[in-house]
Amino acid sequence: MEQGSNFEIIPGGGTSNFILHVPHSARHIPADIRRHILLNDEELEIELNEITDSHTEDLAIDAAEQSRIRPWIFINRSSRLVIDPERFPDQREAMNSIGMGAVYQRTSSGAVLRNISPEQEQSLLTDFFFPYARALENLVNQRLAQMGRVVILDVHSYRPKAHKNSLNSNLDRPAVCIGVDSFHTPNWLLARAQSAFSKIGDIAINQPYAGTYIPLSHYEVNEKVSSIMMENRADIFLDSALAFTPNYPRVVGALAEVIDGPFPS
């Protein structure tokens, strides 16, 4: 098990092509970063309940345990309110327009989250974003060297209702959203995910969330790095108190089914 300041790698099988990426399940905020967040403790707790992909770490770990060949797991151990590792760290990021780029300036309701200087923002990127990205890139490279091809399963959840501060409030919110990339999501991977998660409920592609995580060094240049994002609507497997519903094992089983299918030659 490898750990960094804000990530953990749980090793998988030596012959596994799969990496489960869990970027938004944590709630931890270091004290020195908490000082710059303008919310009081009660407001912060409400925001964490709203913004955290609660129990997606459990989904990944339980699916890995059910899998024929255990996948590798890369988990963000800090809240996305520290940095969001799934954003572009520059002007390519569309969420910058609502203050929720790699370093959030606004909350899910549009309130001011923090007032920091450009230098402080760069420090967060230097201390958290880039080390995280390098560690995940290194894991991808290691699995590529071992297996020749890698599949990243990006594990998320989302709320039944869109956040007030959102770019997708008018889009459908199905039981399952599958995020794909035109370069990095092969047809066989999408078909397998659709087959597995059709047992959970209705599915939409790239709606309300689009795309999937790819290390930037491989982005649109290396087709041997495949990726797909699995977004389960939170009320499918969690109740209002964030406890598991009876559907939780079905969601775990669907994720394991994606991992366990035959890998194309």
Res 148: pLDDT: 95
Res 165: pLDDT: 87
**Residue 31 covered by a domain:** yes
Q: Could you tell me the pLDDT band of residue 265, with boundaries at 50, 70 and 90?
A: low
Distance CA 136, CA 56 (A): 18
Least trusted range by pLDDT, from 75-89, 142-156, 250-264: 250-264
Res 166: pLDDT: 86
Q: Which of 133, 71, 125 is nearest to 103 (CA)?
A: 125
Distance CA 157, CA 232 (A): 5
Distance CA 6, CA 85 (A): 10
Q: Is the peptide bond before 208 cis (omega within 30 degrees of 0)?
A: yes
Res 3: pLDDT: 60
Distance CA 68, CA 259 (A): 8
Distances (CA, A) of 196 to 80, 188, 206: 28, 12, 17
What are the tens digits of pLDDT across the range 163-222? Answer: 888 887 778 899 999 999 999 999 999 999 999 999 999 999 999 999 999 999 999 999
Distances (CA, A) of 18 to 21, 47, 91, 103, 225: 10, 32, 30, 28, 10
What are the tens digits of pLDDT across the range 231-240? Answer: 999 999 999 9
Q: Which domain holds residue 58?
A: 2-260
**Residue 72 covered by a domain:** yes
Check pLDDT > 80 for residue 2.
no
What are the tens digits of pLDDT across the range 202-213? Answer: 999 999 999 999
Check pLDDT > 80 for residue 1.
no
> Structural domain tally of the chain?
1
Stated pTM of the model = 0.95
Residue 214 sits in a domain of what CATH number? Answer: 3.40.630.40
Q: Could you tell me the pLDDT band of residue 226, with boundaries at 50, 70 and 90?
A: very high
**Residue 265 covered by a domain:** no
